[in-house]
């Protein structure tokens, strides 16, 4: 690591441990179930939204704290370049695949780990799609690299200092928690009423 806190030889060990822990959390949160995952699009199960909001808040606050105490330098963290239009189109395509297949790339591997055939077929389709896109990439290259905004963050776009942005994001997340619980109750009540 750049700060020399962790030796280079531990990189892969830590990556494996974090991967196992992440998979365990996904499974414990019910993310290996395509019903739970697709439920967010139908309004009866927002566990995906709440878990990921929680993960974002924990990571955000942790990074800010580590930077504050000098354990981490935020300026050394790589920020993926933003290509706005292709990222929006890619997000729509992934969302459609999420609804149809009931998995996203990460959760499909969680499903495979516990022996789910639908997750296996989803992952096979995922790799076929990646292979097909790589073959057709020359046709999409200009579009793929369009709308380049550089290595920007939401804090830079909004002009809010990091601590204020963290507070604002946490408030939005808490509102989403409350709102999704309200929607879930209404949808499940209607499902029982109409015996879906």
* CA-to-CA separations, 118 to 47, 91, 110, in angstroms, rounded: 20, 22, 11
- Give the CA distances from residue 75 to residues 16, 63, 78, 153, in Å, rounded to whole numbers and listed in that order: 25, 11, 8, 12
Q: Structure tokens of 10?
A: 């531990």
Alpha carbons 62 and 161: distance in angstroms, whole number: 16
**Rounded Cα gap, residues 110 and 90, in angstroms:** 22
- pLDDT tens-digit readout, 175-194: 998 998 888 888 777 776 66
pLDDT of residue 19: 85
pLDDT at 107: 85
pTM of the model: 0.72
Residue 128 has pLDDT above 90, yes or no: yes
Cα(149)–Cα(154) distance, integer angstroms: 12
pLDDT in tens, 69-121: 888 888 888 888 999 899 999 999 888 888 888 888 888 888 888 888 988 99
């Amino acid at each position: 690591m750049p700060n020399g806190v962790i030796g280079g030889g531990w990189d892969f060990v830590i990556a494996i441990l974090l991967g196992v822990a992440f998979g365990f959390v996904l499974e414990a949160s019910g993310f290996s179930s395509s019903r739970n995952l697709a439920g967010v699009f139908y309004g009866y199960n927002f566990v995906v939204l709440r878990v990921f909001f929680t993960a974002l808040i924990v990571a955000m606050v942790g990074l800010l704290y580590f930077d504050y105490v000098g354990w981490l330098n935020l300026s050394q963290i790589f920020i993926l370049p933003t290509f706005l239009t292709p990222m929006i189109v890619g997000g729509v395509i992934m969302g459609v695949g999420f609804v149809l297949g009931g998995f996203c790339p990460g959760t499909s591997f969680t499903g495979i780990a516990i022996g789910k055939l639908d997750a296996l077929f989803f992952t096979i389709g995922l790799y076929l799609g990646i292979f097909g896109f790589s073959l057709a990439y020359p046709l999409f290259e200009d579009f793929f690299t369009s709308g380049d905004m550089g290595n920007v963050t939401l804090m830079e776009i909004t002009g809010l200092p990091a601590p204020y942005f963290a507070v604002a994001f946490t408030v939005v997340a808490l509102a989403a928690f409350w709102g999704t619980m309200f929607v879930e109750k209404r949808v499940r009540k209607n499902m029982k009423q109409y015996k879906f």
